[in-house]
Structure 1
Amino acid sequence: MSSLYIFLLTLFSGCFIKSDLSSKNMQATNPVIAHRGAWKGKALPQNSIASLQEAIRLNCAGSEFDIHLTADDVLVVNHDDKFYGMEIEKSSYAQLLTKKHNNGESIPTVEEYFKAGLNQKQTKLICEIKPSVISKERTLRATRMVVDLAKKMGGPDRIEFISFDYDALKYIQKVAPKFKTAYLNGNTMPQQIKSDGLTGLDFHMSFYKKFTTWIADAHKMGLTVNVWTVNKEEDMSFFLNRGADYITTDYPELLLKVWSRHARVQRPH
């Protein structure tokens, strides 16, 4: 063979191998879910309207937030069961308004949060229903209320639900099956989640690393796969390479950069 022929053969073979690897292993669409909104980069309060708006500005695929039910049955957005020392489930909404985030925001109601997030179509609202610290009945009451509100304001194309409470998610599938639902606790196999009518897995990254076939198994069954909370670049690349549909992170700006590099590799040359 001539040296030119060998060079061309090597060049084209490398291109085909690279294309094959990228098409199988690289994430093709924006996988970025901002954990409690995009708060860290600009030191914004978690679960605030400002952190939601920043996630939207970044064009994240989704912005995750957490909901609780006050003592007087108002749905509010906050991660912990306390808002600056006040127990949410034992406080009225008016009492919670006496405290503010460091940017001056009050605790958002879910209705306010929906209004702020549903005026655009790029970033979905990923609503985590927090289990009540008082009773299962209150968890299911909050679930009924937020689903009714989601039906009224946004619908299943804009709002998705996640929870550590399996019964809450099964309830949603029963009364509002068009909404996507993903379970957060990695103690349940993909086969069971599929059997119970949920639409996805949303497990801590340690479970996927321990049970190495679960991502592929879930995809074979038509389930979506999200992984949380992924803050290191090497872990981001790990799960992009393994085809996770979504990755929840406190560093959406970093994940967007990592994903962009992977997307460039994926594009045909």
Structure 2
Amino acid sequence: MKKRLILSVLLTAFLCGSSAFSQTKVIAHRGYWDCEGSAQNSITALNKAHEVGVYGSEFDVLITADGIPVVNHNDSIQGFCIETSLYEEIKDLKLKNGEVLPTLEDYLIQGKQNKGTQLILEIKPHKRVVNEDRAVTAILALVQKYQLEDHVEYISFSMNICKELIRRAPAAQVAYLRGEVSPADLKVLGFTGLDYHYKVFEKNPTWIQEAKNAGLTVNVWTVDDPAVMQSMIEQNVDFITTDKPEQLKEIVKKN
């Protein structure tokens, strides 16, 4: 009986410890672009993120005037405002590594082949709310077309976009980026996580634990300083988004 009791106590301690200190996962910011032959939000960056074995590869999506979601960080590219341009006008524009501007469909097709790497899809704010709604509709349709519902996680600075995602895809993982809303309020709104700049957590040091207590995932961006990486790992955040995924992986491994 005494041996059983000791084993039970040890098992409970192990399970609680492993739950409380689960390993922080690495997300490559705009893919793994800071290496030879790559570029931000390129298909190469997506593939290189997969090759180094990160949890996820983040990328940015906007919709054209004629309803084609494309992958680009800024709302314009080479003088063309994406939201007000036809796809035909921008489809041949080149990224810094020589690739053409990828569509979301291109990204999803490749991403489906990269087994084990989550697609962290950021829908960018648009100038008009109607275009944000169009973007959500088109993006969800493509994700459904390629049966990637469990492979795609959503983030956005736009509260409107996030609310539309929660309403239209209630089973989806949706995290908010802007940083002004408390974990408790995000939980009430139906979010599954928060994804804030590390300085937000420095100003609100209780928010990481509050989020975890509420059952929300915690992602922090964009962390390239090893000291900040270590600090966030020690605070047991779930994910760190970085431009230095290999360096972060090594630091995580040492913990």
TM over 0.5: yes
Q: Are the structure 2 counterparts of residues 132 and 258 from structure 1 closer, same or farther at C-alpha, using a change threshold of 3 Å?
A: same
| Partner of residue 130, structure 1 | 124
How many percent of aligned residue pairs carry the same amino acid? 40
What is the CA distance between 1:25 and its match in structure 2? 6.9
What is the CA distance between 1:98 and its match in structure 2? 3.4
| Partner of residue 82, structure 1 | 76
Distance 1:181 1:23 in 2: 25
Match of 1:192 among 164, 169, 185: 185
What is the CA distance between 1:125 and its match in structure 2? 0.3
Match of 2:139 among 126, 133, 146: 146
Contact 1:48 1:105 in 2 (8 A): yes
**Gapped regions of structure 1 (runs ≥ 5):** 1-18, 263-269
Deviation beyond 4 Å, 4+ runs, structure 1: 22-27
TM-score for both structures, normalised by structure 2: 0.90
Distance 2:19 2:206 in 1: 15
Match of 1:250 among 235, 243, 247: 243
| Partner of residue 215, structure 2 | 222
- Whether 2:159 is the aligned partner of 1:166: answer yes
What is the CA distance between 1:185 and its match in structure 2? 0.9
- Alignment map for 1:231-250 (pairs within 5 Å): 231-250=224-243
Equivalent position SS for 2:113:
coil
Q: Are the structure 2 counterparts of residues 24 and 212 from structure 1 closer, same or farther at C-alpha, using a change threshold of 3 Å?
A: farther
Contact 2:60 2:124 in 1 (8 A): yes
| Partner of residue 95, structure 2 | 101
What is the CA distance between 1:178 and its match in structure 2? 1.0
Distance 2:92 2:170 in 1: 38
Distance 1:91 1:167 in 2: 22
| Partner of residue 23, structure 2 | 28
What is the CA distance between 1:45 and its match in structure 2? 1.2
Distance 1:43 1:256 in 2: 21
Match of 2:111 among 117, 123, 127: 117
- Alignment map for 1:43-58 (pairs within 5 Å): 44-58=38-52
Distance 2:235 2:188 in 1: 24
**Gapped regions of structure 2 (runs ≥ 5):** 1-13
Question: Residue type of the partner of 2:98?
Answer: G
Aligned alpha-carbon RMSD (Å): 1.8
Question: Residue type of the partner of 2:46?
Answer: L
Contact 2:69 2:135 in 1 (8 A): yes
TM-score for both structures, normalised by structure 1: 0.85
Distance 1:154 1:90 in 2: 29
What is the CA distance between 1:163 and its match in structure 2? 0.4
